[in-house]
Amino acid sequence: MIAQGMGRGVFRAALALIAGMALMPGGAQAQTAAASPVVPPAAAQGGERFSIQIPKGWKQASRNASGPIETVSYVPDGQSAERWQDMLTIQMVKTPAGAQALPPDQLYAQSQSSYEQACDGVKLGTLQSGRSNGYPSAFWVLGCSKVKSAGYGETAFFRTIQGTAALYMAQWAWRVAPFDTTQGPPLLEDQQKEALTTLQSFQVCDPASRQHPCQPGQ
């Protein structure tokens, strides 16, 4: 069953909307992220940084920066940025001093809108919000029953952290066979566990802040 609260095509469009850009979308046992390498911290303004554990056997597929937006994607060995079934994408959207990004409910609504435009049907999960290392954080799941411009479906787990210097977003996406939205996407429990473990490792910290301290290795 899909985790409650329910790519690059649909996901990139969702991130573009979230970031304020007007773009439109185009069986083995899971390995644990706990034993994986940590991405070298990516520094935003003021020393704030993020870290995340990448699953074993995954590699960087793409990395680009455009203005205030930086994006990096990872796929398993044997897959690529063009031909993938599983993809982890991290995006950092820098915000001017004193500015705040959209609150989680609006980010959630905008990603839903992006999916609705790109997909024949959408499976929408519940927005879950809280705090992570003192920062506002949110999690949700979206399923695309079939991408209108392609013959497959997509499912994605989203996690956002609103830092002081940037909005940080991590997402794990799968390309799957088209599915009925009343049933949900065909994902194995191990696939979901691996994604959730990885997204739980996604953290933001600031070595100069007592409210958002960095742990060894961050």
Residue 29 has a pLDDT of: 25
pTM more than 0.75? yes
Q: Tell me the domains of the chain and their CATH numbers.
A: 9-24+34-204 (3.40.1000.10)
The pair phi, psi for residue 199, each rounded to 5°, is -70, -30
As a whole number, the mean pLDDT across the chain is: 80
- The tens-digit pLDDT sequence of the chain (218 residues) is 233 333 444 444 444 444 432 222 232 222 333 334 566 555 554 589 999 999 999 999 999 988 888 999 999 999 999 899 999 999 998 877 555 666 888 888 988 999 999 999 999 999 999 999 999 999 999 999 999 988 899 999 999 999 988 899 999 999 999 999 998 888 989 999 999 999 999 999 999 999 999 988 77
